Amino acid sequence: MTNGVNKLLNTMSKMGTDTVSELSYGTVTSLNPLVITRETGESRTPLTAEFLVLSKMCKEFRITSAKHYHVVPSGSTSVAEGHLHGIPTRDTANALEDLLIWPGLRVGEKVILLSFSSSQKFFVERMETLENEVGA
């Protein structure tokens, strides 16, 4: 088990009465509606959104840029060596795009499931988040 998973288990066990009771793995089988199939040994159990608590890293996070633009008026350069250059009018419309920081879950993605609330709820974390944790 990775250090990231251990850190997460320790943090969740300090949450009080809703302590973690089991760690398992799952696969995202549907996005709309959200279904994650829990894999425990030979058993596969589909879990719907009502039983899942997604970590922030499992949700799409996008920074929306300010939608504005500037008009650069036409003009010309100063004369150098007997000639000058014309500059056409330009604008910066749509120059800034939205920035995707973290994509949402994808069908087929493997996740870690931590059960709590007497195994009635499952905290979902991306496997790559915990496996690639810096300083884990």
pTM value surpassing 0.85: no
Residue 107 has pLDDT above 90, yes or no: yes
Residue 18 has pLDDT above 60, yes or no: no
Sign of CA dihedral 97, 126, 6, 114: positive
pLDDT tens digits for 59-71?
Answer: 999 888 766 677 8
Q: How many CB atoms are located within 10 Å of the residue 7 CB? A: 14
Among residues 51, 49, 47, the alpha carbon closest in space to that of 36 is found at 47
What is the C-alpha separation between 125 and 135, in angstroms, rounded?
18
At residue 86, the pLDDT reads 85
Tell me the percentage of the chain whose pLDDT exceeds 90.
29
What is the C-alpha separation between 15 and 10, in angstroms, rounded?
9
Among residues 3, 11, 43, the alpha carbon closest in space to that of 114 is found at 11
What is the C-alpha separation between 123 and 116, in angstroms, rounded?
8
pLDDT tens digits for 27-56?
Answer: 999 999 999 999 988 889 999 999 999 988
At residue 34, the pLDDT reads 96
What is the C-alpha separation between 4 and 6, in angstroms, rounded?
5
Domains of the chain: 1-60+103-136 (2.40.50.140), 62-102 (no CATH)
Give every CB contact of residue 46 below 8 A, 6+ residues apart in sequence: 29, 35, 36, 37, 38
- Is residue 84 within 8 A of residue 77, CB to CB? The reply is yes
